[in-house]
Structure 1
């Protein structure tokens, strides 16, 4: 039976620890020198949503020549520059490859009826850089990653429909309802696909303080991590 499996990145495939926030803070300082980076949560959000919330916390008002969207774009571009620089400097070693990820991706890639994609709030280039720290891009259509990304839309809840349509166009295969599975570590990952009837698999490898809310969001399956490859495969391929 055909399956389209869409993976979140942060907290699901990789754990960047403090690195991702430090990179965002570095970009912020470039755009807003002398200002303090606001205490904005990143969990389950798109990069553009994070930038928009940063501006709201600053009570920022645009200059005549600077629209809100233009400033968000500047923040994103600075973020990508800082991320690339930090990874070239060797900080990719700080990124944790989460348990069971490579084994599961390898198993899924060997199944002819399964297609893999990404469903992430990261902009596409940020996703490529992050996945590249542990050689994971190869599983998702490298060098041109497939799925839906934070530069497709700022609202994560719009991304599942974009991912499905994009991969259908690439593959010529139609996917409906529970033929699509989203795997993620936040309630947003569980909830964002409900409008198109997807199956949701939650993993407890994200932030510990969100785990109760993650369970309360009602995923179809919950795993502490992805180490139990065959059990996860049964959840993915079963009805």
Structure 2
């Protein structure tokens, strides 16, 4: 059975140990000529919205997006070594991605608020990039709102792999915005409580499957295979306390 699996990155696949907020602050400083008055608010939002919010909060005009994206990419590249030293891949992630990438008929990629350049930085820091079909993913430069990224990933996957329009999509992420993106696009959701949001919060947001993390590869693969076979969201709260 075919399946499109789209993984979030920060706090789902990796712990960035604060490097992400340093990237936003550095990009803002490069464009504004001074430090921001406060840290970036992330929590599953796209880079477009994160950076816009920083400029609005500080009462500054928002630069053109190409300039913002270039500043973000430069700041991300500069912090690759910091990320390797301070961050980590989360438990079970290598095994989960390896198993999904090897599964016949599945496309395993990303759906992330990060711009593509910084998604690659974060994944490559821990050797995860070869385990994902990054060309099929959707990124923070592709749309402002996370649900709109699902259509982008679907179209890229269709174009690259000639999959049918009705192939089920499952998002794997750690925030209520990941859940919202799935529910509003008729995708399945596997929520993981490996970020700041508890299992209870993710279930309350509408996630029918909530896992503590991705450490149990057999359980995760079983859920994904069930979704591929049924082609719809599961009705039970597997893994949810």
TM-score (norm 2): 0.87
Query: Over the residues paired in the alignment, what is the CA RMSD in angstroms?
Result: 1.8
Q: Partner residue of 2:209?
A: 221
- In structure 2, C-alpha distance between the alignment counterparts of 1:203 and 1:18, rounded to whole Å: 19
2:72 to 75, 79, 96: 79
1:146–1:167 CA contact under 8 A, matched in 2: yes
2:195 to 192, 195, 206: 206
Of 107-116 and 31-40, the range deviating more from structure 2: 31-40
1:97 to 71, 89, 93: 89
1:161 to 151, 158, 167: 151
1:169-203 Cα offsets, whole Å, 9 max, x none, are 111111427x2110000011111122331111000
Q: Give 1:9 shift.
A: 0.6
Q: Partner residue of 2:237?
A: none
Q: Secondary structure at the match of 2:33?
A: coil
- In structure 2, C-alpha distance between the alignment counterparts of 1:59 and 1:133, rounded to whole Å: 35
1:215–1:222 CA contact under 8 A, matched in 2: yes
**1:29 and 1:221, CA in 2 relative to 1: closer, same or farther beyond 3 A?**
same
- In structure 2, C-alpha distance between the alignment counterparts of 1:124 and 1:26, rounded to whole Å: 18
Q: Partner residue of 1:64?
A: none
1:16-70 Cα offsets, whole Å, 9 max, x none, are 0111111211222222223433344211011111011112111224xxxxxx351
- In structure 1, C-alpha distance between the alignment counterparts of 2:138 and 2:35, rounded to whole Å: 32
2:119 to 119, 127, 143: 127
Gaps of 5+ in 2: 231-241
**1:39 and 1:25, CA in 2 relative to 1: closer, same or farther beyond 3 A?**
closer
Gaps of 5+ in 1: 62-67
1:128–1:145 CA contact under 8 A, matched in 2: no
**Larger RCO of the pair (alpha carbons < 8 Å, separation 6+):** 1
- In structure 1, C-alpha distance between the alignment counterparts of 2:18 and 2:139, rounded to whole Å: 22
Q: Give 1:118 shift.
A: 0.8
- In structure 1, C-alpha distance between the alignment counterparts of 2:83 and 2:7, rounded to whole Å: 23
Q: Partner residue of 1:45?
A: 45
1:192 to 181, 189, 200: 181
Q: Give 1:113 shift.
A: 2.0
Q: Secondary structure at the match of 1:127?
A: helix
2:48–2:141 CA contact under 8 A, matched in 1: yes
Aligned residue-pair number: 227
1:123-154 Cα offsets, whole Å, 9 max, x none, are 1111111111011111223xx53211111112
- In structure 1, C-alpha distance between the alignment counterparts of 2:82 and 2:18, rounded to whole Å: 15
Q: Secondary structure at the match of 1:192?
A: helix
- In structure 1, C-alpha distance between the alignment counterparts of 2:179 and 2:157, rounded to whole Å: 20
Q: Partner residue of 2:131?
A: 139
Q: Partner residue of 1:32?
A: 32
